[in-house]
Amino acid sequence: MATKEFKAPEMLRTGDPTGFCPGCGHGTVGRLGFEVLDEMGLLEKSISVYDVACDSLYMWAIDTDCVGTAHGRAIATAAGVKRVRKDCPVWAYVGDGASYSIGFQHTVWSAVRNENITVVIINNGVFGMTGGQMAPTTLIGQKTTSSPAGRRADVNGYPMDITKILTGQDIAYLARGSIDTVANINKTKKYIRKAFEKQMNNEGFSLVEVLAPCPTNWGLSPHDSLERIRNEVMEVFPIGEYIERGVK
Ligand SMILES: Cc1ncc(C[n+]2csc(CCOP(=O)(O)OP(=O)(O)O)c2C)c(N)n1
Ligand code: SF4
Ligand SMILES: [Mg+2]
């Protein structure tokens, strides 16, 4: 993977080449996306679309064509970019806060229109960049900075599950992976590869959600964050392939 000389903006917290907090899931998930593009020989032609959230920190370290968008607008922008650059692999790499709340309409309507793009959504259960507020994916009982007593179903509703919302929708591919173990990282990489293959075959919309840790806002060590994904998050958000065009 090509990387360019890193000039860390002062706002980055760790000073490492991406700026992610130690143990952050973005480091692994974003890398999987770029590795897949590289292995498919598509990295040079690829266009990565991100928004204002922790996903944007990746783009400081990656020497590929990127489009930065306002918070929650990456999926709509990716759809527009793809319409005018049909030969390029285009993906939106976004957070769960962005794609399931402020930008939710773009997630759903890009799927309904079966836009020929790939979307990778990092489900870390919080609005990470802004300090760990409750997101649509926050679990019942989970304490966040905007739900200090824990999320309540009677007040906040239940965690939003994209696999239920898009059930039966005529899209090319929908899967959920996790990065809690090496085996699941490898499985997630296969899902992301399949998603890009669908796009390059012009089959339409492909979405891979990935369960990923945000140790900083979960108040856990990187190790315990992975345990939490295994023991709590996966119970609510099962991993696997949900939609594959032509496969019922
Ligand atoms: C239009 C707009 N609304 C709100 C914000 C503030 N904002 C920036 S990042 C963010 C949360 C990001 O959470 P998520 O999309 O889950 O990504 P994460 O950082 O968790 O990976 C918010 C609310 C903004 N920058 N612009
Ligand atoms: S706040 Fe969370 S999502 Fe953002 S870089 Fe830190 S660990 Fe990653
Ligand atoms: Mg998030």
For residue 248, pLDDT beyond 70: no
Amino acid at 239: I
Q: Which atom of ligand 2 is nearest to the CA of 54?
A: 4
Q: Whose CA is nearest to atom 2 of ligand 2?
A: 214
* Contact call for residues 132 and 159 (beta carbons, < 8 A): no
Half-sphere exposure of 53 (CA within 13 A, CB side): 31
Of 57 and 146, the structure prediction assigns the larger pLDDT to: 146
Phi, psi of 79 (to 5 degrees): -60, -45
Mention the CATH class of domain 26-244: alpha beta
Give the residue extent of every domain in the chain: 26-244
User: Residue 247: its pLDDT value, please?
Assistant: 58
Tens digits of residue pLDDT in 159-169: 999 999 999 89
Looking only at the bridges linking them, the beta strands covering 90-95 and 47-50 are: parallel
Euclidean distance between CA atoms 247 and 172, whole angstroms: 10
Tens digits of residue pLDDT in 187-237: 999 999 999 999 999 999 999 999 999 999 999 999 999 999 999 999 999
Q: Which atom of ligand 2 is nearest to the CA of 215?
A: 7
Q: Which ligand is nearest to the CA of 72?
A: 1
For residue 132, pLDDT beyond 70: yes
Q: Does the C-beta of 98 come closer than 6 Å to ligand 1?
A: yes
For residue 127, pLDDT beyond 90: yes
